[in-house]
Structure formats: C-alpha cells, structure tokens
Chains A and B, each alone.
Chain A
Amino acid sequence: MYKGYVVDGALIAGDPHFRMGCRLCHKGDDKGQGKEGAHKGMIKRPSDNLKTCAMCHKQIADNYSKSLHYTSAGQRNGVMPRFSKEELKTFDAKVFEQSCRSCHASCGDCHVKAPAVGGISIGLIQKHKFVKKDEGRTCAFCHGGRVYPEYTGEYGGSPDVHYQKGITCMECHKKAEFHGDGTAYATKQAVKDRPSCGQCHKLGQEAKLTAKIAHQRHQGKVSCYGCHTATAYRQCQDCHSGKGAAAKPAMILGLNPRDKKTLTTLRLIPTVRETFLKDGIKMENFDALPNYWDSPVHNIRKRTDRTRSCDACHVERAGFLDFNTMIRGGSKANQGLIVTPKPIHR
C-alpha cells in the first residue's frame, strides 16, 4: 500500500530524528535524479545495523544486540538438543541465519515501520513517526499466528479478559523484556522480570471462598493457565523447512516439560522428524525433546469449564494429553507429559 511510504511533513521540523536529514540513516543520494537516482545506495532498513541507532541510543542498542528479539537465539537453543554436533553445524550454516534469524526484529520494526510477514507489510506505522509503541501494528504481525489473535479473540472463542479491559501487550511485558538488559539469555524462560499473574493477582485476596480454596489446593500443582485458559488455542503441526506448518485448534493439558510437577497448557511444536530433511538434517536426537511445550496461552477468562466444575478435569479429563490424542510419529519424550488427574473422593 503506497500510504506505507508517505512521510508526514509536519514531523520533519519537530522530531529530532530528522534534524540531520534522511541520509544520516538511509544513505542514498538526495541529489540523484528520479526514484532510481535518489535510491542509489539507499538502505531500506537502517536499524538492521544496530550501529545506526547506537549513534544516539548507545546503551539501548548495546543491550538490544543481546536481546532474544534480535538474536533469535531462543529458536536455535530450543531445537538444538535434537541435533548431533555435525547436524548443529549444518543447521547453523543452512537454516538458522537464512530462516530463523531472518525473523529477528530491528529497532525500526517496532518503532517506525511495521514488520513484513510473508512479504506483506503495512509500511510506516504513523507516517515515519518514531513511535514508542503500537502493539496492534507491530507485536500483532510477528505474533499474529497464535498469541495475538488468541488475545483479541480473532482466532475464535472469546477474547482474553485482559484485552477486554483494554490491557495491551506492553502493560504486562515491560520494556526491558524487549530492549534487553545486557544479558544474552538463552531462552525466553530465562529472561528476568517476565510477567506473571501473581504480580497483579495476589493469592489469598480472592473475593470468593471457592476461588480461595481452589487456588490453595492447586498451588504448585497446576499453572494459572491450566484452569483459566478459556478455549481451544492454535496448534501448529507438521512443519517442513520451506513449506510451513498446518494449524488446528485444540486444548492440550499435560505436565510442563520444564517442571514435571506442574500441570499446564501445552502447545504442539510443529517440528517433526522430517522438518529439516531438505537441509540434510535427520535430527539424530529427535526424541531428546517432546513435541509439546508449556505455553502461556493468551485467552484467559475468570470462569472456564475447569473453574466451574472439578469434574471437567477430575472426571471427564477434558483436553488432557493421552496416547489417543498424541501426535503420530512424535517424540518418545511426549509420553512423559501425560498426567491422569486423581479422582475426587466425595
């Protein structure tokens, strides 16, 4: 859409980013004739090189160079245990930089121009204004397959109660989570000061006695998501390098692979045995990791089938991972996530 390239002239006099002219960041030739002449040597995405922003925002750029949004290291570290040493070398050379790493966010993706997904972008967020945040035009695109549409309800079912109350991404996910704090975390789970329900919802302060008892009984055994995720959420499966994955909705409850004491919502990770076969990677240690991982599903409701009735879990076992619903040909490690809720003695 052409409007994605139109700059608001009124910004130019007022915003300090424009004081040194377009060429400071974009290069190109402002004396060049026509579009081709002017664009010669132009850099479309100046902030892909963090040094551009570091000219003025050095501390932020330095921290961001280690942030997971920039390094995409979480994707590499997440799949790495499936590979032999040789396979990891092949993965790094053939897959990571070209595929996973191409998904990293530059400063501009969040502050200037909406990121392109599948080759499509809406262009400049607010006519080249350097915005502090605009989650619906930034976070929503990269996380538009699963988390964001779950949150808004666009994926089906009901929207997350926090969304209905007007809470946007950055009210829970703080700035340091994106900009980084200078530490190169291996995974998003390791990041300091991630959001948690308990920051706002203190145990013991429930209005209803039934809620208080339910929380006491399940504390340390079931995650908040386990009961408060409202509906089925998106499960991507059967991902093949270069072809993408297929998706369908399901609620999956099982043990958290990172903490086998806790029941939580699991999401099917689309990596299958043949995912990287095209790149010459068989995944010799495929069974080292399960296909299901704990997922903070973003469609939270106060009342769900599981909060209304104990029977939903303890009798019907609705949504629980079992041998019948488990992905065919999946990892042997999946079996370790199956949990059978104890019956209630009435």
Chain B
Amino acid sequence: MNILTVLSSFIFLFLLSTNVLANAGSCVQCHTNDTLMKSLYKPPVTTAGEEGEG
C-alpha cells in the first residue's frame, strides 16, 4: 500500500464522517433521544382491519 492510497483513505473517511454529521442535523438529535421521543409520542388512532386477515 503506497502513501497515496493511505492518504486518500484518510481523506475519504474524514469527508464521510463530516458528511454524516452535516446531514444528520436535528433528525438524529431527536430520534436518538429516548426520553425526548417518549415525551413527543402520541398514540395512533386505531382502525379496524378492513379486508379480513391474511
């Protein structure tokens, strides 16, 4: 493995990690927070099955 390959791998991983963080934003902050999700959760309105059962 030459130095160029090692260097480009590091750059790729760096870009990848920054991309994840940049894109994650508020979605990840809320949806990985168990307590917050519990507080925001509203139970669904249930409907009866319509067409029999599979």
A119 CA / B46 CA spacing, docked (Å): 5
B25 contacts A30, CB within 8 Å? yes
Within 8 A of B (CB), among A1-37: 1-3, 5-9, 12-13, 18-24, 26, 28, 30-32, 35
Q: How far is the CA of A103 from the CA of B25 in the complex (A)?
A: 33
List 12 additional contacts besides A23-B23, A247-B53; criterion CB under 8 Å: A5-B31, A5-B37, A12-B28, A18-B20, A21-B23, A21-B24, A28-B27, A100-B51, A103-B54, A119-B45, A143-B54, A239-B51
B-side interface residues, number (CB < 8 Å): 31
Determine the distance from Cα of A118 to Cα of B48 in the docked complex, in whole angstroms: 5
CB-based contact B27/A38 at 8 Å: yes
B50 surroundings in chain A (CB, below 8 A): 99, 118, 242-244
Interface residue ranges of B1-54 to A (CB < 8 Å): 16-17, 19-20, 22-28, 30-34, 37-38, 40-41, 44-54
Q: Which residues of chain A come closer than 8 Å to B33, judged between CB atoms?
A: 6
Task: List, sorted by A's number, 23 A–B pairs whose CB atoms are closer than 8 Å.
Answer: A2-B37, A3-B37, A5-B37, A6-B34, A12-B20, A12-B28, A13-B20, A18-B20, A19-B20, A21-B25, A22-B23, A22-B27, A26-B27, A119-B45, A142-B54, A144-B54, A145-B49, A145-B52, A145-B54, A244-B51, A247-B52, A247-B53, A270-B52
Distance from B16 Cβ to chain A, minimum over Cβ atoms (Å): 6
Taking the complex as formed, is A146 at the interface, i.e. its CB lies under 8 A from any CB of chain B?
yes
**A30-75 at interface with B (beta carbon < 8 Å):** 30-32, 35, 38
Q: How far is the CB of B2 from chain A (nearest CB, A)?
A: 26
State which residues 233-261 of A face B: CB under 8 Å.
236, 239, 241-245, 247
